[in-house]
Structure 1
Amino acid sequence: MFILTKIADLVQIAPEDFGKQSHQAIEDNINAKYANKVVQKIGLFVCLWDILWTSEGLIGQGDGYANVNVEFRMVVFRPFQGEVILARIANQSREGISLATAFFHDIFIPFSELPDDTEFDPREQTWVWKVKGGDEGEGGDEGEAAEEGEGAEMYFDNNEVVRFQVVSEEWHDQAPSGPQESADQPASELLPPYKITGSMKAAGLGCTIWWD
């Protein structure tokens, strides 16, 4: 789920930060620049892991900033394809289920990746997995989930913790667009910079409470 990425960059320390210890001033500037940012084809940067090397600080002319060349490693959130991770159900629609973790909110499970015999309840705005009894359908673990071998309805309730498998990832460039392009595409339709598509079809996936 998490990887370490090595980066070399120029860190500029403002005069008001000269009172800090050097390592603290550098760490604060790196986290301010990278933490909670998505970098294309790398992932969501979470926080600084460690500093590998720094140069001596050189004061720039005119602005008084101390310029320091730094090599460091960042903790990056980027699950690999096929990895199984946990998240919570944020909301649901006929298209599928949106999930979120404590720090990442662009996870989507399309309806085609939900268990077989899963239907959308328009009144409750919830997906329901209709488990067949042990004498019909697939049986096995699903039969055990049903009470006394009879069918059961397993609800994907909002805020429930679910287990899902990563299927694919999507990257969308967030470079600024021109005035005409911005007018043609409302802000509500802008695509997230990094999106994960998952699946809950395999046994053991879905709401964790089902398998306790």
Structure 2
Amino acid sequence: MYVLTTISDTAALPPSSFPLPTARALENWLNAKYSDRILPQVGLCVCFHSLISTSEGLIAHGTGLVNVNVTFRLIVWRPFKGEILQGTIIQSDREGGVWLGMDFFEDLQVPPSVLFEPSAFNVEDGKDESEGVWVWRSENADAENGKGYDEYFFDRNEKCLARVEMEVWNDVPPQMTKPAGAVDGEAAVEERKQPYAVQASMMHSGLGPKLWWLGEEELAGEVQEAEEMGEGNAGVGADGVV
């Protein structure tokens, strides 16, 4: 899930960073530039890891900036194919399927074709399409509802497990363009694609909402244990192991 990648760049250190040790000033500059940024074909940058090499600083004419050529390592989030990720359902729609959000990433998509079969998009009477949810209808002749199948819902805010299948990279233009057929004077309102998305599946035993497999009591115990571990790690500093 987390990998180290090596990058070379030219850091432009402002005069305000001169009192700091050079390594610290470079770390601050690199974190400010790369943290929480998507690098094409690399992944989601998390934070600076370590310096490999640096050049002597050259003062830029007229700005006072000190330019330093650096080679360094970054911690990058990029899940591999087949990895199991945990997320929370944040959105469902008829065309796109189910969207999961993690604490730092919300472009984890599970298309309808890789949900449990047979699954259908269900919208209750009187409700808007945006409030619909996907439902897995598992055959069961003894189902209590008398329909010959049990219904399992992909409800919002449910914690789910999903298997990574592929990555989707999009070239994002620096400026938004007007949609086709826009009239003169109309603002550019075209929705921009996410630069990096992950497509996953939920079509194997153990995947999907954890409530299906664990039950309410076991899931509550797991959540409590995770919270206790989080409190225990609250004092880990920046030098802790990632």
Q: Provide the C-alpha distance between the structure 2 equivalents of 1:188 and 1:202, rounded to a whole number of angstroms.
A: 37
Instruction: Please list the CA deviations of residues 123-151 of structure 1 after superposition, one character each: whole Å capped at 9, or x if unmatched.
Output: 16111222333x79xxxxxx9xx9xxx95
Higher normalized contact order (CA 8 Å, seq sep 6+, divided by chain length): 1
Q: Provide the C-alpha distance between the structure 2 equivalents of 1:203 and 1:13, rounded to a whole number of angstroms.
A: 52
Q: Provide the C-alpha distance between the structure 2 equivalents of 1:114 and 1:86, rounded to a whole number of angstroms.
A: 15
- TM-score normalised over the length of structure 1: 0.84
Instruction: Please list the CA deviations of residues 34-62 of structure 1 after superposition, one character each: whole Å capped at 9, or x if unmatched.
Output: 11111111111111111122222222221
Counterparts in 2 of 1:3-22, with a 5 A limit? 3-22=3-22
Q: Which runs of 4+ in 1 moved over 3 A?
A: 185-188
Quote the RMSD (CA, aligned, Å): 2.2
Q: Provide the C-alpha distance between the structure 2 equivalents of 1:172 and 1:120, rounded to a whole number of angstroms.
A: 27
Q: Is 1:128 aligned to 2:135, yes or no? A: yes
Q: Provide the C-alpha distance between the structure 2 equivalents of 1:188 and 1:32, rounded to a whole number of angstroms.
A: 29
Q: Identical aligned pairs, as a percentage?
A: 37
Match of 1:101 in 2: 102
Match of 2:171 in 1: 173
Match of 2:183 in 1: none
Shift of 1:187: 4.1
Shift of 1:79: 1.1
Which blocks of at least 5 consecutive residues in structure 1 are unaligned? 137-142
Match of 2:179 in 1: 184
2:177 maps to a residue whose letter is S
Contact 2:122 2:134 in 1 (8 A): yes
Instruction: Please list the CA deviations of residues 165-186 of structure 1 after superposition, one character each: whole Å capped at 9, or x if unmatched.
Output: 1111111111325xxx711265
Match of 1:89 in 2: 89
Counterparts in 2 of 1:1-212, with a 5 A limit? 1-95=1-95, 96-123=97-124, 125-133=132-140, 151-176=149-174, 182-184=177-179, 187-212=189-214
Shift of 1:65: 0.9
2:135 maps to a residue whose letter is V
1:190 maps to a residue whose letter is R
Q: Provide the C-alpha distance between the structure 1 equivalents of 2:151 and 2:197, rounded to a whole number of angstroms.
A: 30
The worse-fitting range, judged by mean Cα deviation, of 115-124 and 10-19 is 115-124
- TM-score normalised over the length of structure 2: 0.74
2:210 maps to a residue whose letter is T
User: What SS does the aligned partner of 2:177 have?
Assistant: helix
Name the count of aligned residue pairs.
197
Q: Provide the C-alpha distance between the structure 2 equivalents of 1:126 and 1:20, rounded to a whole number of angstroms.
A: 53
Q: Provide the C-alpha distance between the structure 1 equivalents of 2:53 and 2:213, rounded to a whole number of angstroms.
A: 47
Q: Provide the C-alpha distance between the structure 2 equivalents of 1:20 and 1:210, rounded to a whole number of angstroms.
A: 53
Q: Provide the C-alpha distance between the structure 2 equivalents of 1:191 and 1:169, rounded to a whole number of angstroms.
A: 14
